[in-house]
Amino acid sequence: MATPSEKLAESLEALKALQDVGAVAIRSDSLTRTHRERLLKNGFLQEVMKGWYIPSSPNDRDGDTTPWYASFWDFCATYLRERFGTTWCIAPEQSLKLHAGNRTVPAQLLVRAEKGGNKPTRLLHGTSIFDVRAALPPAKDIVEENSLRLYKPAAALVEASAGFFAQKPTDARTALALFTDASEILTHLLEGGHSVVAGRLAGAFRNIGRERIADDIIKNMEAAGYAVRETDPFEGRLQFDLPARERSAYAGRIRLMWQAMRADIADNFPPAPGRPNDIEAYLKHVEDIYVTDAYHSLSIEGYRVSPALIERVRSGNWNPDQDEQDREHRDALAARGYHLAFQAVKTSVRAVLGNENPGPVADRNHGDWYRELFAPSVTAGLARPADLAGYRSDRVFIRNSMHVPLPPHAVRDAMPVFFELLAAEENPAVRIVLGHFIFVYIHPYMDGNGRMGRFLMNVMLAAGGYPWTVIPVERRNDYMAALEQASVHQNISPFASFVGGLVNDGLRGRPVAKVPDEAQARQQREAGPEWEGTGQ
């Protein structure tokens, strides 16, 4: 007779068979009732709604949104295909967001379907699908991407409401920047006689510096007998022109976010003191703060480190074999990697204090920081040498965030633009805030992005003469909430205010972070939550 463990193993094999063929949304009839109930009871399956499930982990905590946000788009694609076949399409505005590289999980996904029910279907964590009974665009105006049926960009722009441009300017401008001429847009405008829309799109293209496209829309519509009044649907104008031949939506998105956000930073940040005259004194302060920085930065990521462990690693009195007996092995490897990376970052700090442009310094050196951060894990056999070779080649998700980081191919489009913008930026506060935020928004690595973002932030701080700044683990929730506002709602002010407040305290000599004594550290490790597997 099979043991409970053997029975669970059989059920896991059935689940694995579904996952091996790419199943994310799992219908109840895809598993026997016995397998389904066993997997639910043991935490390997989570119900989304009656008859539909997603894989989960027994280690997921109650209220953890990560499994759902990571599954959202794949689940919706499968569910909608099962329900409507091919007679559905994501609404124009959401289609434009996806074309613009914005895969943030929406609170409500609006879908057009010939047999839509005109009511919401409730999903997990306050999300839903609202399927509107409406005619679909012609087949030639629909494109399938990652199993999602979307309006093609030109058709979506013609169908999008005027409010979309004002409410979602980064998404709208990124989508507009995909076009290098007016031909595809004009086909839709002329076929439908859309004179009002033509005036709106002409104004929108002119807003982003695409004068030729704007002029061609007006001239061709007027030649066909339509009276066109150009209107700008955006609330403000760009202070720069997007590159005319940049075909990556993700690269364009990073440029637009940078320009849109930079204006909201100065009022939330103290003035730059300027580079210090005594470089060695600055570097001594950086070394003096190391234990505090390492403790808080590693604790933010869920490592259960102690001041004693950090000091032991720094002094070299560290034996991986000795620490391998328990969880401390993983924590010690992380602490060792942090120490090695910190020394590499200090080299970068010295360079920017010597008046080098911090953008190229970070571009040149950030790969070294990353390799040092994970070198001990490679040596211990817990990571592959190939993992240190460059940016990630797989998807990654941020725990409990509705923001979905860029797909792997887009990382390689976005990172050069990120460093180009960092090098060209003259405002120290903008370099600090957007240097950190845009880096973790892109999430270029499978792990270590949070630590790398804070290293990058501190190199930018040094370039402005600000002190090295520690983000306290006690304020982790504030920190993550501010990043979420910037990532999901394009509101950088809370993050600028958060970082600016910590920096201002440092300038005034107020300690913003302390290292607990061993008893306090032990108590925190025993009682505190863990945030593992976040891609942070």
Give the pLDDT of residue 496.
Answer: 97
Give the pLDDT of residue 327.
Answer: 58
Q: Is the pLDDT of residue 73 over 90?
A: yes
Q: What are 302-322's pLDDT values in tens digits?
A: 888 888 888 888 877 766 555
Q: What are 250-261's pLDDT values in tens digits?
A: 999 999 999 999
Instruction: Give the mean model confidence (pLDDT) for residues 121-149.
Output: 95
Q: Is the pLDDT of residue 157 over 80?
A: yes
Q: Is the pLDDT of residue 489 over 90?
A: yes
**Distance between CA atoms of residues 452 and 449, nearest Å:** 5
Q: Is the pLDDT of residue 183 over 90?
A: yes
Decide if 152 contacts 90 (C-beta within 8 A).
no
Residue 72 to residues 187, 421, 506, Cα–Cα distance (Å): 34, 32, 41
Q: What are 414-436's pLDDT values in tens digits?
A: 999 999 999 999 999 999 999 99
Nearest to 103 by CA among 394, 480, 397: 397
Rounded to two decimals, the pTM is 0.90
**Distance between CA atoms of residues 166 and 160, nearest Å:** 12
**Distance between CA atoms of residues 380 and 100, nearest Å:** 41
Residue 247: how many CB atoms within 10 A of its CB? 11
Decide if 145 contacts 98 (C-beta within 8 A).
yes
Q: What are 509-526's pLDDT values in tens digits?
A: 887 778 876 555 555 544
Nearest to 211 by CA among 172, 182, 236: 182
